[in-house]
Structure 1
Amino acid sequence: MESAICTLVTQFKEYAGKDGSTSTLSKDEFQNLLTSQLPNYAKNFSSPAAVEQLMSSLDENNDGELTFSEFWQLIGKLASQQGGFGQ
């Protein structure tokens, strides 16, 4: 599990750092991360409007960017779905 956590943090920082700050994902960075790192999930969010809606649902402070904590909500939901855990 430690390796999986390190991978998630590393990938978040890699994509977040493309527009400047490594601590938040912009909309474009988020879309690039989805497409590249979560391609099967991204099929459900192929339109810019769908990505915008997903990002808005995760963006708790409504600043137009995702912190790691906000992004982690998505990872938790995906892991729960993968494991067959109700949420």
Structure 2
Amino acid sequence: MEAAINTIVGQFKEFAGKDGSSSTLSKDEFHKLVTSQLPNFVKNAKDPGAIDQLMSSLDENNDGELTFSEFWQLIGKLACKQGGFCQ
């Protein structure tokens, strides 16, 4: 599990550092992360509108960027679905 956590944190940092703040994901960074790293887990990963909606649902403070805590919600939801623990 430690390797999995390190991978998730590393991927977040890699994509967050591409433009603007290195501690948050912009809309463009989030789109690139989802399409390249989660194409089989996120429905309509190639649809920019769907990704925008997903990001909006995760962006708790509505600042147009995702902190790691906000992003982590997505990881939790995907893991829950993948494991058959939720619908």
TM range (shorter): over 0.9
- CA drift at 1:45: 3.1
More strand by share: 1
Residue-pair matches, total: 87
1:6 is aligned to 6
Question: Which TM-score applies when normalising by structure 1?
Answer: 0.93
Instruction: Please identify, of 42-51 and 31-40, the stretch whose mean Cα deviation from structure 2 is larger.
Output: 42-51
> What displacement does 1:61 show?
0.3
Contact 2:39 2:45 in 1 (8 A): no
CA distances 1:56-80 after superposition (whole Å, capped 9, x unpaired): 0000000000000000000000000
- TM-score with structure 2 length normalisation? 0.93
Could you list the runs of 5+ residues in structure 2 that have no partner in the other structure?
none
Richer in helix (by share)? 1
- Summarize deviations over 1:34-60 as a string: whole Å, max 9, x none: 011111134523222111100000000
Q: CA RMSD in A?
A: 1.2
Identity of aligned residues (%): 77
Contact 2:23–2:67 (CA under 8 A) maintained in structure 1: yes
One-letter amino acid of the counterpart of residue 20, structure 2: G
The gaps in structure 1 that reach 5 residues or longer are: none
The runs of at least 4 aligned residues of structure 1 exceeding 4 Å deviation read none
